[in-house]
Structure 1
Amino acid sequence: MTTNHYFIGVPLQKERQDEFADLQEILREEMKYKNWTHPEDFHITLKFLGACTTEQLEAIKKELLKKSWPDPFELQLGPADAFGKKDQPRVFHVSVEAASPLVSIKRDIEQLCEQVGFERENRTYKPHVTLAKKWISGISPLSAKKVHDHFLKCYSMEVDRFCLYQIHPQQSPKYEVVCEVNLDNGGET
């Protein structure tokens, strides 16, 4: 029996998807990773849920759609960064500003999910957009004496919604939107 897994995250606009796919191409010249994120799957995670019962899923959707959320806001993305060893990072990503509205949404989602039966995440929230994970070989361009300008670049993005996603591990892209919540009206699209 297959169990479906879910998470809540902020999708990236097409323009940012294209720019980050370009970063991946530059990175591929230097490094090999087991998993490269499909550009349509780029997102900023707000809450990983894992396996959900139908009742939990429906309760989460209901709570997300009835809550009053902040207005859309600007968010800064970049520069590139990594988790793990600087020269052989296990995860290569674009950092994301921990802006007040994003942190507020994250906190409220944690609270809603806890009410539905999920454990609260106690780790410090480090928003990011994963480009690649599970390092195989190569040396990170972030550890070079002169870092490529593309990895130092910062981007601006308007956040106007977030989504509840179902994960399809064997597909590419692997994330399917189950529910979309607009920040301006809190309603589903």
Structure 2
Amino acid sequence: MGDHHYFIGIPLSNAMRDEFTALQQLLKQDMSYKNWTHPEDFHITVKFLGACANPVLETIKQQLMGYLWPQPFELSLGPADTFGKHEHPRVFHISVESSSALMMIHEGVEQICEQTGFVREKRKFSPHVTLAKKWIDGLSPLAAEEVDSRFMRRYLMDIDRFCLYRVHPQQSPKYEVVYEVRLPRGGGVGGTVN
């Protein structure tokens, strides 16, 4: 069972999925990528865990359930951005605001994972939504003289949960929600059943 990989991430609303699927179609007019994210797989990664044994997953679930998470919050997404060379970036993504509530979730997840034996991520947390990765060909529309306004747009999304995902590399969509943490409304611990 330990051969599956897992990560913790924030799912996108249907409205955001639709917006970013439209942006992917726009991007496909200019660029070829090996991997285009399936719309159902759009997410903001909080932490990649890699391979996990079941007892470790259980411990993480228990810790996630008992942690004091921030209340639901609004998050700003956009504009489009890239990792790698500006003209032909290896990753094309939507940038995500590093809001204090998002940083609290990230820090809580890092603490829980560290206690469970995971190494704390050294790189600075840069939240984003990947639209495409592994550049093959084409010129980034963000490198154009005049950038299409649709890539510069900002969006607001309500965040009320985050999830533990299992990765199925051979499938499409490839991310399966194994556990959901709902953010507490009006204070109190999320995920508990009284």
* TM-score (norm. length: structure 1): 0.97
Does the CA contact (< 8 Å) of 1:65 and 1:181 recur in 2? yes
Aligned positions of 1:1-189 closer than 5 A: 3-184=3-184, 186-187=190-191
Q: Secondary structure at the match of 1:89?
A: coil
Q: How far apart, CA to CA, are the structure 1 residues paired with 2:65 and 2:153? A: 35
Could you list the per-position Cα deviations for residues 133-189 of structure 1 after superposition, in whole angstroms to 9, with x for gaps in the alignment?
A: 000000000000000111000000011000000000000000000000000251179
Deviates more, 1:27-36 or 1:53-62: 53-62
Q: How far apart, CA to CA, are the structure 2 residues paired with 1:136 and 1:103? A: 33
Q: Which amino acid aligns with 1:136?
A: I
Q: How many residues align?
A: 189
Could you list the per-position Cα deviations for residues 81-139 of structure 1 after superposition, in whole angstroms to 9, with x for gaps in the alignment?
A: 00000000000000000000001110110010010111100100100000000000000
Could you list the per-position Cα deviations for residues 37-57 of structure 1 after superposition, in whole angstroms to 9, with x for gaps in the alignment?
A: 000000000000000011111
Q: Secondary structure at the match of 2:90?
A: strand
Q: How far apart, CA to CA, are the structure 2 residues paired with 1:101 and 1:28? A: 33
Q: Which runs of 5 or more structure 1 residues have no equivalent in the other structure?
A: none
* TM-score (norm. length: structure 2): 0.95
Q: How far apart, CA to CA, are the structure 1 residues paired with 2:147 and 2:98? A: 24
Q: How far apart, CA to CA, are the structure 2 residues paired with 1:11 and 1:33? A: 23
Runs of 4+ residues over 6 Å off in structure 1 = none
Q: How far apart, CA to CA, are the structure 1 residues paired with 2:75 and 2:192? A: 22
CA deviation after TM superposition for structure 1 residue 2, in Å: 7.2
Q: How far apart, CA to CA, are the structure 1 residues paired with 2:2 and 2:158? A: 36
Does the CA contact (< 8 Å) of 2:2 and 2:53 recur in 1? no
The two structures, once aligned, show a CA RMSD in angstroms of 1.3
